[in-house]
Amino acid sequence: MKTYSIVKTGGEYVVLAGEQRVLKVGSRRKAAKLVVDATELLAMQSEPGLPPARGTHQSSVTAGS
């Protein structure tokens, strides 16, 4: 798995995956949240055979009529 880091460049924050820039956002808090979300999704993907975990921030989706 890659190492993620966040660096400030000017007025923006850049998320790095290893040495590669992958995302640019306006706040450090938003950058940190996105890194945590991405790490959790990659961890779930790397565990075959386990059902996807539902976090408290997710709601179920139902089809409308």
The strand order across the sheet containing 4-9 reads: 4-9, 12-17, 20-25
**In the block, residue with structure tokens 């089809």:** 63
Domain boundaries, the chain: 4-45
Q: Is 43 helix (H, G, I), strand (E, B) or coil?
A: helix
pTM over 0.75: no
Chain-centroid distance, C-alpha 33: 6
DSSP state of 52: P
- With contact defined as beta carbons under 8 Å apart, do 34 and 23 qualify? yes
Confidence (pLDDT) at 50 = 58
pLDDT tens profile 13-46: 999 988 899 999 999 999 999 999 888 888 888 8
